[in-house]
Amino acid sequence: MTKTNFNSKSIKRHDIKDKTVLVRVDYNVPMDPGTTNIADDSRILASIPQIEYLLNRNCKVVLLSHLGRPDSSSDNEFSMMPITTRLSEILDKPVLQLPSCKGKDVEKQINQSPHRSVSMLENIRFEAGERKNDQNLSRALANLADVYINDAFGVAHRAHASTEGITHYIPSYIGFLMQKELDILGKLMSNPVRPMTSIIGGAKASDKMGVLRNLSKIVDTIIIGGGMAATFIKAKGFGVGASKYEDDRLSEVRDLMENDRIRAELIIPTDVIVADRFHADANFEVTHVDSIPENMIILDVGPRTTEKYAATISESSTVIWNGPMGVFEWKNFSSGTINVAKAIAGLKDGTTVVGGGSTADVVSKLNMNDDVTHVSTGGGATLAYLEGKALPAVEAILKND
């Protein structure tokens, strides 16, 4: 999968004037709990350049996305209508909410829509065949348009009907956002400016082992944080108190830390913030990793560790960050994450990439989006790419004739 392949399938390289274009977008935006209010519309805003590009070429634009994890089409809380309303406000023009993702009625409404119009299909995950990559659903989606664009990097690792299956039945191309992600992440993995540091957090070491193994061959330094740090501390021979760790991963983690054949140096916490329970108001203290009390759990990296991490980041030319350092949502256990974020934001002359939903949320809440080079729109897709895995939705487009 090379940059040349990506560019050959860029929508900019193909004539789509006057076409009906189906665009797979990622409008799986966070909503305020119990409401239909959009908590963060950044994913919608990010899609606007692609939409306007198509409108300027006299296209009919039909948008396709998922939202949440509905059990059935009767889950009205997952309707695309709030997204459609917000998109209409941003574009300052009507956006037609269609009743479904397929069928004669939907086809008729799209056919009757004028050029330079925008329509929104209903939540694709209302369709049982989406996750099954059902051929009949893929064909039905293809029947709605002349051309298909995938601009949803966040689901590029999914072989679903709306991402992989559809490409077998319609001319298919890569959209602006997808192209940007592939270009930036591709350069990071193939030709980074060194020294390169990767910061990896998260709840479980098992969720990130593939990424760690692949990155250990590419980057110069790997910084470890989050709940998974307990497994690394345990593998180093220290007790972790009442913290959860993955016993079946200890030998694998130990091998990663002690393997002289890998490129990367792994840095794990030397001190941590521990608490007497998993709660925002828990009693807490700072302790060295060699003296974690039996009844305490690790909820953040400690100040000395944070200082070491910040110093490593400041000496880097390229940084990629995936996963908070602690329970960032709780003030008493957010300092590690905040200080790592500040160190990344302070790297003015370097390339800094933030990947993963929770990490992107951290940067957004700290108002640091403009202080990093790129905030990836992918969660699982970013991890899959960093692990060196093929992305089914992208591979399908590259193979599309």
Active site residues: 43, 204, 357, 380
Distance from C-alpha of 341 to C-alpha of 370, rounded to nearest angstrom: 12
* Cα torsion 151, 154, 157, 159: sign: negative
Specify which residues 339 forms β-bridges with. none
* Cα torsion 157, 160, 163, 167: sign: positive
Specify which residues 196 forms β-bridges with. 318
Distance from C-alpha of 53 to C-alpha of 121, rounded to nearest angstrom: 20
Order of strands across the sheet that contains 196-200: 265-267, 221-224, 196-200, 318-322, 351-354, 374-375
Query: Which tokens in the block code for residue 199?
Result: 């910061």
Helix (H), strand (E) at residue 110 = helix 104-112
Query: Which tokens in the block code for residue 159?
Result: 């072989």
Distance from C-alpha of 100 to C-alpha of 110, rounded to nearest angstrom: 12
Distance from C-alpha of 282 to C-alpha of 327, rounded to nearest angstrom: 12
CA distances from 248 to 206, 209, 212, 215, 284 (A): 9, 12, 16, 21, 29
Give CA torsion, residues 355, 358, 359, 364, to 10 deg.
110
Distance from C-alpha of 267 to C-alpha of 274, rounded to nearest angstrom: 19
Distance from C-alpha of 169 to C-alpha of 142, rounded to nearest angstrom: 6
**Strand 20-24 to 172-174 pairing:** unpaired
Would you say 255 and 231 are in contact if contact means Cβ atoms under 8 Å apart? Answer: no
Which of 354, 351, 379 is closest to 369 using CA atoms?
A: 354
